[in-house]
Every structure is written in structure tokens, then in C-alpha cells.
Amino acid sequence: MPDNPNAMVIAIDGPAASGKGTLAQRLARHYGLPHLDTGLLYRGVALTLLDAGASLDDEAAAARAAESLIADRLADPRLRDRAMGEAASRISAVPAVRAALLAWQQRFAGTSAGAVLDGRDIGTVVCPDARVKLFITADATERARRRHRELEHRGETTTLAAILADIEARDARDAARSTAPLKAADDAVRLDTTHLDADEAFAAARAVVDRARSQ
């Protein structure tokens, strides 16, 4: 965490396609803070394994990939592919991978002004002392619809049913893993975006941050 007591670290957690990534980006721009989509770290590790022809089940290789991950790897457009989301979910269950990436994330959050990080264990593990903690969620069917629209826009062919099945499987795996399971921090503000558009969700989140800044 930053040494500056006035630093604003905003921790945003939630399941896949809840809208946390878009929200995190907008908050970062609004407050002039650096942003890290921590899911890209796990996708980067998974892609490193796949490019090397290694199995996603090879925990030793996954740990080595996590320990050697560099920021440039996060710019690879393949990380946004649907298959990488599933691969990252599997990789994220490996304790050694999570341990290796924890320091990476905490260094990012340690900038003097603060930062915005989104993921699944930011408020509970990565930045437990963050000044603002948000847990963003939405109905699984609505999240599947959002992801379906996103993939269609990118030209990927899939079905709503297949995406919903993937989301439900990822939710179950993320919540059940032994290390840093997906859950809201006790002091997190929960924001259900099922019936909110992007602007409404941003306004609600900004109100939470502004309250914290004024205290």
C-alpha cells in the first residue's frame, strides 16, 4: 500500500462480466489514477504457458511463468479472447501463481497517489487497507448477455447458452478455490448493476468514492 496516507486506492471486485472493468477504467480516468485489470495478469500467465506448449495443469510451469511475467505481456490482444478467460480462471486457482502475482499487484497499488485495481480478491487480499472497496455484481443471465454482445461486436461466434455456462462454471470455481476465493470484503460497498447502465453504475460508484475522499 502507498506510504502517502492521502493516497486513494480503490479496490473493485466482482465476478466475470459484472461491469467492474469498465467501471474501474472510468473511475481511474475521472480521478487521474493508474488502473490495473488484475485479470490480465492471470491471462498473461495462461498465454505464456500455451505459447510454450505447456499444460495449464502444470503448476510448476505456471508458477515460473507468473514469477517472470512482465508488463509488456499485458498488451497482447490475445488476452481478450474468450478462451483466455477460461484459461485464466483455471490458472488463478494455483496458490503459487497467486503468491507470485500478489507482490506484482501490491507494487502497482503502492504508487504515491494511489491506484484503481479490479479483480476478484483486491479488497480481501491484495489491498485489504484500500480506502474504497466496491463489490460489483449482476445477475448471471444479464452478465452472459453483456459478454455475448461484447464478443459479437468483436466478431467472435458463440451462443448465449455457452457463455452463461462458462460464467456459471467460473463463478463456482472462483468462489470455491482454497486460496483467495471470490467474495466481498466485509467493509466493501456492494453495487448490483443488473438494472444499471454504464453511466448509472459510474455515478453510484463515484458517489461512494467521493464520500470516502471527503472523510
Neighbours of 176 (CB within 10 A): 10
Instruction: Check the annotation: does 18 bind a ligand.
Output: yes
Instruction: Check the annotation: does 77 bind a ligand.
Output: no
Give the sheet arrangement for strand 132-137, strand by strand: 35-37, 114-119, 8-13, 132-137, 189-192
Query: Do 24 and 41 form a contact (C-beta atoms < 8 A)?
Result: no
Instruction: Check the annotation: does 53 bind a ligand.
Output: no
Instruction: Check the annotation: does 15 bind a ligand.
Output: yes
Instruction: Check the annotation: does 158 bind a ligand.
Output: no
Instruction: Check the annotation: does 34 bind a ligand.
Output: no
106 closest CA partner among 91, 90, 122, 93: 122
Instruction: Check the annotation: does 14 bind a ligand.
Output: yes
Angstrom CA distances, 49 to 38, 53, 65, 139, stand at: 18, 6, 7, 32
Instruction: Check the annotation: does 178 bind a ligand.
Output: no
Instruction: Check the annotation: does 181 bind a ligand.
Output: no
Task: Give the annotated binding-site residues for ATP.
Answer: 14-22
Task: Give the annotated binding-site residues.
Answer: 14-22
